[in-house]
């Protein structure tokens, strides 16, 4: 067996020190010098790949470690690291093949099994992910990481009882595991156990007060409990920790669109929102309070826009959100997220939605959509009905710019249609369609009779009694939280 060049070890040791001191460029240089001394040295190839990965040069990293695996045959460490790089590069299928090959040499390696399970989870293959994590637990029942990963898979597949069991075990095995406690809170939030959810999020914040997501999730919990001032407070705190998080901003704005906290409780976003409403309202009020109400002109929306931008600029607020809809009105919660999840799970229309009717306004341009949003700000309706303006992003639903007003019966919808049609014609244009529809557009695609509400048509489709059992099962066993979490988006 040929003797190993001592310079190889010198450069490897030097490179490792640089890699450990967060100097991947220096480490790469040292490892490449080791390779010049021995082109097929496995450690040099492997470590060079790790240095390239630290420099975020994935292709080079993969190339070097692949060569180390090819020459070295069955080194599970090399394959595990290669799998992690492939996963971070989005090459999930290839990563799984590498992990599976590594397990042929070390079938009980917990690191490899956890990594393989997480990669199967990336591929939405929950069954194989669960097998991987259970293999770890079979060998080491006290593995907090395996229980945590298993809980995440159960959570993503809506098996909340199993997820709760996993996260509770993590709390016992590793009491300060804030991510597990936060996820446990989400399980309780999703199943409507709001007091339990509150307890878990409060516990997270006692352990780590800078956990932004826990502040936000506690805010969602407070909102579900009906405590809007506290919800705003929690969401404002989440933004002090993570000011650029557009999802946190969207969640807070969603509340501020219909509920404003007292001045002494406002932070930046609430202050900006209040100032915009305060400054823009008089501009719109002059249109409707004059003896001869005037149309909302392009110049009017320009003034409102400039006013808003001036206030945003004054406060140096940076926002890069992607909200596709904005709500107004003080109506009661319709629990639309729950209803749509029932439909998506079973293809049945929830009973509540048989009494849901909407006035649909369809502006032809984005300018008219903005005018409609301004009209919704000043429109007086008998029940201050929930209303929204939106840009249609659902692939199977026709139309682009829309306004909806939610009603509790067909008779109410027809009444609101008359009020809305008159106001749209007065303040925007007579050429904008104002119609009545029933429930969500997705329902009609699956059940066409549900959407037939013509006066001269057949009787309205009634609720199918056989569906009640499915709804009851859903409410008992599956997600039913009222408001989206940070990572949820929902149009209806």
Quickly count: other Cβ atoms within 10 Å of residue 25's Cβ: 10
pTM: 0.75
For residue 378, which of 310, 317, 290, 439 has the smallest C-alpha distance? 290
Query: Per-residue pLDDT tens for 1-11?
Result: 455 678 888 99
Q: Compute the distance between CA of residue 370 and CA of residue 378 in angstroms, rounded to an integer.
A: 13
Answer yes or no: is 169 within a domain: no
What's the confidence (pLDDT) of residue 484?
37
What's the confidence (pLDDT) of residue 333?
63
Backbone phi, then psi, for 331, in 5-degree steps?
Answer: -70, 170
Boundaries of domain holding 413: 325-477
Q: Compute the distance between CA of residue 150 and CA of residue 144 in angstroms, rounded to an integer.
A: 10
99-133: burial string, b at 16+ Cβ within 10 Å, e else? bebbbeebeebbbbbbbbbbbbbeeebbeebbebb
Q: Give the CATH number for residue 351.
A: 3.30.70
Answer yes or no: is 212 within a domain: no
Answer yes or no: is 469 within a domain: yes
Contacts of 37 (CB under 8 A, 6+ apart): 5, 7, 8, 11
Answer yes or no: is 373 within a domain: yes
How many distinct structural domains can be found in the chain? 1
What's the confidence (pLDDT) of residue 20?
94
SS3 259: coil
Query: Per-residue pLDDT tens for 422-476?
Result: 999 999 999 999 999 999 999 999 999 999 998 887 899 999 999 999 998 888 7
Answer yes or no: is 63 within a domain: no
Quickly count: other Cβ atoms within 10 Å of residue 437's Cβ: 16
Answer yes or no: is 130 within a domain: no
Helix boundaries (H) for 292-382: 298-314, 336-346, 366-378
What's the confidence (pLDDT) of residue 72?
85
Half-sphere exposure of 91 (CA within 13 A, CB side): 14
Answer yes or no: is 20 within a domain: no
What's the confidence (pLDDT) of residue 490?
30
Which residues in the chain show pLDDT less than 70? 1-4, 263, 265, 285-293, 319-322, 330-333, 477-492
């Amino acid at each position: 067996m040929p003797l190993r060049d001592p310079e190889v070890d010198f450069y490897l040791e030097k490179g490792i020190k640089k890699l450990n001191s967060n100097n991947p460029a220096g480490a790469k240089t040292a490892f490449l010098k080791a390779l010049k001394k021995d082109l097929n040295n496995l450690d040099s190839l492997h470590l060079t790949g790790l240095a390239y990965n630290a420099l975020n040069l994935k292709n080079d990293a993969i190339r070097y470690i692949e060569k180390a695996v090819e020459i070295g045959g069955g080194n599970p460490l090399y394959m595990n690291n290669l799998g992690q790089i492939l996963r971070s590069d989005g090459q999930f299928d290839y990563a799984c093949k590498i992990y599976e090959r590594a397990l042929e040499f070390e079938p009980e390696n917990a690191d490899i099994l956890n990594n393989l399970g997480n990669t199967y989870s990336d591929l939405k293959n929950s069954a194989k992910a669960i097998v991987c994590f259970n293999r770890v637990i079979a060998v080491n029942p006290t593995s907090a990481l395996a229980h945590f990963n298993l809980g995440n898979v159960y959570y993503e597949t809506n098996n909340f009882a199993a997820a709760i069991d996993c996260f509770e075990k993590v709390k016992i095995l590793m009491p300060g595991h804030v991510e597990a406690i936060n996820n446990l809170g989400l399980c309780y939030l999703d199943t409507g156990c709001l007091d339990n959810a509150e307890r878990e999020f409060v516990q997270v914040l006692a352990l780590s007060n800078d956990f932004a997501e826990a502040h936000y999730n506690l805010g969602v919990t407070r909102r579900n409990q009906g405590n809007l001032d506290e919800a705003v407070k929690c969401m404002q705190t989440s933004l002090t920790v993570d000011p650029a998080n557009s999802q946190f901003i969207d969640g807070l704005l969603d509340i501020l669109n219909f509920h404003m906290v007292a001045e002494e409780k406002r932070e930046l976003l609430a202050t900006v929102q209040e100032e915009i409403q305060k400054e823009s309202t008089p501009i719109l009020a002059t249109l409707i309070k004059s003896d001869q109400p005037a149309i909302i002109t392009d110049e009017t929306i320009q003034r409102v826009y400039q006013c808003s931008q001036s206030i945003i600029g004054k406060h140096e607020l940076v926002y890069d959100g992607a909200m596709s809809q904005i709500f107004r009105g003080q109506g009661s919660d319709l629990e639309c997220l729950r209803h749509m999840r029932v439909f998506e799970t079973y293809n049945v229309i929830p009973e509540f939605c048989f009494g849901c009717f909407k006035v649909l306004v369809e502006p032809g341009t984005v300018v008219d959509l903005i005018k409609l949003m301004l009209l919704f700000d000043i429109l007086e309706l008998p029940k201050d009905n929930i209303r929204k303006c939106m840009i249609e992003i659902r692939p199977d639903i026709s139309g682009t710019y829309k306004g909806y007003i939610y009603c509790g019966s067909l008779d109410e919808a027809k009444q609101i249609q008359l009020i809305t049609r008159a106001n749209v014609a007065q303040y925007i244009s007579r050429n904008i369609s104002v119609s009545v529809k029933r429930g969500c557009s997705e329902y009609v695609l699956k059940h066409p009779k549900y959407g037939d509400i013509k006066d001269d048509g057949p009787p309205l489709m009634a609720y199918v009694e056989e569906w009640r059992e499915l709804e009851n099962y859903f409410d008992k066993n599956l997600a039913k939280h009222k408001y989206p979490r940070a990572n949820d988006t929902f149009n209806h």
